[in-house]
Amino acid sequence: MANALYDALFAPQASNENNFLTTPDADGEQALSYAGFMQLAAQYAGALTQLGVKPGDRVAVQVHKSVNALAVYAGCVQAGAVFLPLNTAYTAREVAYFVGDAEPAVLLCDAQAEAALQSVVANTGCSLQTLNADGSGSVSELARTQATQYATVSRSADDIAAILYTSGTTGRSKGAMLTHDNLLSNALTLVSYWKFTNDDTLLHALPIYHTHGLFVACNTVLLAGASMIYLPAFKTDTVLQQLPQATVMMGVPTFYTRLLDDPGLNRDTVQHMRLFVSGSAPLLAETHEAFEQRTGHRILERYGMTETNMNTSNPYDGDRRAGTVGFPLPGIEAKVCDPDTGDELAPGEIGMLQVRGPNVFSGYWRMPEKTAEELKADGFFITGDLATVDQDGYIQIVGRDKDLIISGGFNIYPKEIELLLDEQADVLESAVVGAPHPDFGEGVVALLVAKPGNSIDVESIRQVVSDALAKFKQPKVYRIVEELPRNTMGKVQKKLLRETVQTTFTTK
C-alpha cells in the first residue's frame, strides 16, 4: 500500500546503516544510523496505534527537541496520523485552544507540563502522554515495548500529513493543512535547487515545531540521505564548535547576528561549509555584507510561509542579492498584484504577493470561509506580504499586511495580545506594535490607556501576560499613554504608533 510521504522520505532509508544524525552532549557525541532511526520511528508508530490513534487522527506534540520527538513525526507519517507540532513556549491556556480546535487523539508533552495540561484534556477524549528530552516518558516507555517493524498505513498524495497553526488577525489561530504532496514536492525542489547530496551534513539548531526546522531542514536531509548534527537549540559557542564538521546550515537572522558578535567566526571555521541559508524573517543587508566579509560566504536568503513551506530562493549559482528573496522556486508561480483588484502589477510597483504551486496548503482546518478569502479558486494564495519585483525578476518583501510582527523568526499578531490586555481591570484600551530590535529583528511594545480615574500596575499586567502567553509574544516594553491616535473613522493608527516606538530598543 502506498504512503506518499513515507515512501519517499523514510522507506528508502530503512536498511541504510549510514549516519543519520549526531547529537553532541556532555558525554561526547551520540550517533544514530538511518536504519536505527527508522526502527525507532516504527516503535512510535506502534505506540500511537496502541493508544488508539487511527489514520487521519491528529497527534498534538508539545515537547522539547530530541531524537525521539523527530521519530514521533516519522511514526505519525507511517501510521497515517496528522502531525500537529506546537511551540514549546505555549502556555496551557494557548494549548487549550489547539486541543479544542483540532481535537487530537493524543497530546504529547514534557513531564513538567503534564499537571498543567491535565485540565486541558479533561473530558475531551484526548490521551495525555509524556515525552521528555532525555527520551523518558510514558509514550517512550510504550514505544520500547513495540516491534521495530510497522505495517505502513496507506495515504494518498492529497491526504493531510500535518497541521501547523499560524496566528490569526482576530486572535484566533488558523490550522494550515499540509498534504503529503505539499511536503514532498517542496523537499524534492529544495534538494535539487540547493544541491543536497548524501555527502552533506546539515548543522541543525532550529526548533522542530516550525516549518523551517522540521520540513525545510529535516525533510530535505531525509530525501537526500544526508546527515545532521542535531543540536537541541542555538548556542553560539556550540555552533562554532560544530561548524567545521558541517557543510550546510539553515538559520534565522538572529543566528547570523549572534555568530557575527563572536570573534570565533572566521574563514577557518567555515572552510568546509558550502551553504548558509537564512529565512523566517528579513535578513538585514548589513548582516548579509558583514557575514560575507568575515567568512567569504554569501548567505542564501529565501522566503516561505507556514501555509506554503518555501516559495522563493536566491539562486544557488548566481547573484544572491541582499534585501531580496530571489526568484520563485521551480514549479512555483509568484506574482505581485493590486490588493483591491487582484490585477498583476508591473515590475517596480508594490502590491500583494500571491503564490501558486504544489507546495501551497489545502486550506485552513475547519475554516472554509477563511480559506476562501485567502486561497483563490485559481490556486493562488494571497500571502499578506507586500512585495515588488525588479527588472531582473528578484522579489523583495517590502512590508506586511495586518500589522504582523516577526520577532526572532516567530510570527506574532498584535490582536491576540491586545485582547488579553483589554481584559485587565484598569485598562481602557491597548495597542501592540513592533519596534526594531538589534537581536530579534522586532520587539513587542504594548501601549496602554488607563480607564478614567484608574492607574495601571504594569508589573501585575506583566505577570498576567507571562502566565497566559508564550514568551516570544510577551511585550518587552509597556508604555502608559493618555490616548491612542485615531483616524477620522476611529481606527487606531498603528503606523503612527510604530513611528513613536522606533528607537525603543536601538538607543543606547
pLDDT tens digits along 71-96: 999 999 999 999 999 999 899 999 99
Average pLDDT, the chain: 93
Q: How far apart are CA 68 and CA 142, in angstroms?
A: 13
Instruction: Tell me yes or no: is domain 1-155 CATH 3.40.50.10800.
Output: no
Domain 319-400 architecture: Roll (2.30)
Between 169 and 461, the higher pLDDT residue: 461
Task: Tell me which of 2-6, 106-110, 225-229, 285-289 is least confident.
Answer: 285-289
Q: How far apart are CA 448 and CA 426, in angstroms?
A: 10
Residues forming CATH 2.30.38.10 domain(s) in the chain:
319-400
Task: Tell me which of 32-36, 68-72, 170-174, 350-354 is least confident.
Answer: 170-174
Q: Would you tell me which CATH number, out of the four given (2.60.40.10, 3.40.50.980, 2.60.40.2890, 3.50.50.60), belongs to the domain 194-298?
A: 3.40.50.980
For cell 572552510, the residue is 271
Identify residue 233 by its one-letter amino acid code.
A
C-alpha cell at 457: 500596575
The reply to whether the predicted model has a pTM over 0.95 is: no
**Cα 344 off chain centre by:** 29
- Which span out of 297-311, 413-427, 491-505 was modeled with the highest average pLDDT? 297-311
C-alpha cell at 124: 475531551
Residues forming CATH 3.40.50.980 domain(s) in the chain:
194-298
Burial call 407-417: b when 16+ CB within 10 Å, e when fewer: bbbbbbbbbbb
DSSP E strands in 357-394: the ranges are 363-364, 381-389
Identify residue 373 by its one-letter amino acid code.
E
Q: Would you tell me which CATH number, out of the four given (3.40.50.880, 3.40.50.2300, 1.10.238.10, 3.30.300.30), belongs to the domain 405-500?
A: 3.30.300.30
Between 340 and 129, the higher pLDDT residue: 129
Q: Which of 251, 312, 294 is nearest to 276 (CA)?
A: 251
Residues 6+ apart with CB under 8 A from 29: 22, 23
Q: Flag whether pLDDT at 354 surpasses 60.
A: yes
- What pLDDT sits at residue 166? 87
SS3 letters for 417-456?
HHHHHHCCCCEEEEEEEEEEECCCEEEEEEEEEECCCCCC
Instruction: With cut-offs at 50, 70 and 90, classify the pLDDT of residue 335.
Output: very high
Q: H or E stretch including 407? A: strand 405-407
